[in-house]
Amino acid sequence: MPLDPQAQSLVDAMAKLNLKPIEDSTPEEARESMRSRTAGLGPFDEVAAVTEHRVPVKGGEITVRLYTPGGAGPHPALVFYHGGGWVIGDLYTHDGICRSLTNAAGCAVASVDYRLAPESKYPVAAEDSYVALEWIAANAAGLNIDGRRVAVGGDSAGGNLSAVVALMARDRKGPALVYQALIYPVTNSSLDTPSYHENATGYVLTREAMRWFWRHYLERDEQGREPLASPLLAPSLAGLPPALVITAACDPLRDEGEAYAARLRDAGVPVTLTRYEGMFHGFIRMTRFLDKARGAVDEVAGSLRKAFA
């Protein structure tokens, strides 16, 4: 499948860096590689305020970084979960996208620093993510957030966690969500869709890298069939909040994201599915280089504004 010319030039530039493949790296090496490459994505937007909050979770605490737009508030809020295969990525790697969404959507963005695998295996990331949502809802007034207008969203593994948290909130009668924004989400552990074979190599994220991520995330392979790991396998998706699902044509995860959108639609959930032709996995963070990344940020922000209205 051909890449968009802007995307192709980025892929060519990355190839010249001769980076160690994720599947041949230790988690520490892969984390450092992502952090070092993030520096080249800036400069990032200024926002009205940024604060950090410590949230108690089972066995420890995590950080939630809150980006606040200008104006009096209380503001609607997007609870954001970063990508990185549950193993890499952090508040820093997704600082730019959170700032962009704060300004473009005119909402608070609460970025959740859930604990990473393999130090904290499944379902720790999912449980941390849900506890963070509960904490934000419980402390909404003190955070200048409108607790009646809260959405979840994230990219890749963060899209997975957003979908999982929406399921948890429904099933545990937790905070009411108005929306879920799922950006090329991981929804199934099988690695066996047509897009996994078409896009196995050559498009930034590889099939072997995803195998590496799943291996680090799960304690046992059979956990991949549980809905809190693979939300596509949930018995029912009825009663979930309206959704935006973004996929990239040249992404191994394309088909499972689109299958999740189809299952949401079949369950009666309002859903918008947008496939970005010629784009690779991870493109939305590259707004300095890709017109379609800027378009995707605008689409997410516009859909949030509508959901919060």
pLDDT reading at 244 higher than 80: yes
Per residue in 103-126, pLDDT (tens digit) is 999 999 999 999 999 999 999 999
Alpha-carbon distances, residue 84 vs 154, 166, 196 (angstroms): 11, 20, 18
**pLDDT at position 94, please?**
98
Whether residue 178 contacts residue 308, with contact meaning beta carbons closer than 8 Å, is answered with yes
Spell out the alpha helix ranges (H) of the chain: 5-17, 27-38, 95-105, 124-138, 157-171, 194-198, 207-217, 254-266, 291-308
Per residue in 77-91, pLDDT (tens digit) is 999 999 999 999 999
pTM of the predicted protein model: 0.98
281 is catalytic: yes
Q: What average pLDDT does the segment 142-156 reach? A: 98
Q: What domains, with CATH codes, occur in the chain?
A: 5-308 (3.40.50.1820)
**pLDDT at position 298, please?**
98
Options 94, 216, 281, 303, the catalytic residue: 281
**pLDDT at position 44, please?**
94
Asked which of 41-45, 67-71, 162-166 is least confident by mean pLDDT, the reply is 41-45
Q: What average pLDDT does the segment 257-285 reach? A: 98
**pLDDT at position 39, please?**
85
Q: What average pLDDT does the segment 223-234 reach? A: 98
Q: Which residue's entry shows tokens 């860096």?
A: 17
82 is catalytic: no
**pLDDT at position 239, please?**
98
How many Å apart are CA 39 and CA 18, to the nearest integer? Answer: 17
Q: What average pLDDT does the segment 243-258 reach? A: 98
**pLDDT at position 6, please?**
98
Q: What average pLDDT does the segment 9-24 reach? A: 94
**pLDDT at position 218, please?**
98
**pLDDT at position 110, please?**
99
Whether residue 144 contacts residue 75, with contact meaning beta carbons closer than 8 Å, is answered with yes
Radius of gyration of the chain (CA): 18
How many Å apart are CA 200 and CA 115, to the nearest integer? Answer: 28
Among residues of the chain, what percentage have pLDDT more than 90?
A: 99
**pLDDT at position 1, please?**
74
45 is catalytic: no
pLDDT reading at 150 higher than 80: yes
Task: Show the tokens assigned to 163.
Answer: 């979908």
Options 95, 113, 155, 251, the catalytic residue: 251
Per residue in 161-182, pLDDT (tens digit) is 999 999 999 999 999 999 999 9
Task: Show the tokens assigned to 307.
Answer: 């959901």
Options 100, 156, 162, 230, the catalytic residue: 156
Please calculate the CA angle 148-154-156 and round it to the nearest 5 degrees.
Answer: 155
For all residues of the chain together, what is the average pLDDT?
A: 97
